[in-house]
């Protein structure tokens, strides 16, 4: 479902939007979806890094053990 809305943008940004695409709504929708996807990826990556960091010592010990088992330094 589409909902009509009104937003206020700086004049220079509106001119850039118009140069990029004659359909303002479509461009703003694509840009917003891309931006939100980037925010969601960044949040997930941040959570992943926190999990890795919380388990880093154990993971490093396991990796070292595997390397030693394989006869590698």
Q: What is the pLDDT of residues 24-57, one digit of tens each?
A: 999 999 999 999 999 999 999 999 999 999 999 9
Q: Cα–Cα distance between 29 and 5 in angstroms, integer?
A: 12
Q: Is a pLDDT exceeding 90 seen at residue 73?
A: no
What pLDDT, on the 0 to 100 scale, is given for residue 66?
Answer: 92
Closest CA to 53 of 41, 45, 43: 45
Taking only Cα atoms into account, the Rg of the chain, rounded to an integer number of angstroms, comes to 24
- Residue 39 corresponds to which tokens in the numbers above? 């925010």
Q: Which residues are within 8 A (CB) of 19 and not within 5 positions of it... i.e. 6 or more apart?
A: none
């Amino acid at each position: 479902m589409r909902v009509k809305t009104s937003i206020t943008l700086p004049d220079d940004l509106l001119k850039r939007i118009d140069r990029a695409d004659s359909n303002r709504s479509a461009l703003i929708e694509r840009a917003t979806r891309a931006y939100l996807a980037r925010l969601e990826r960044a949040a997930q990556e941040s959570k992943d890094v926190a999990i890795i960091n919380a388990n880093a010592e154990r993971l490093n010990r396991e990796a070292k053990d595997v390397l030693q088992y394989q006869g590698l330094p």
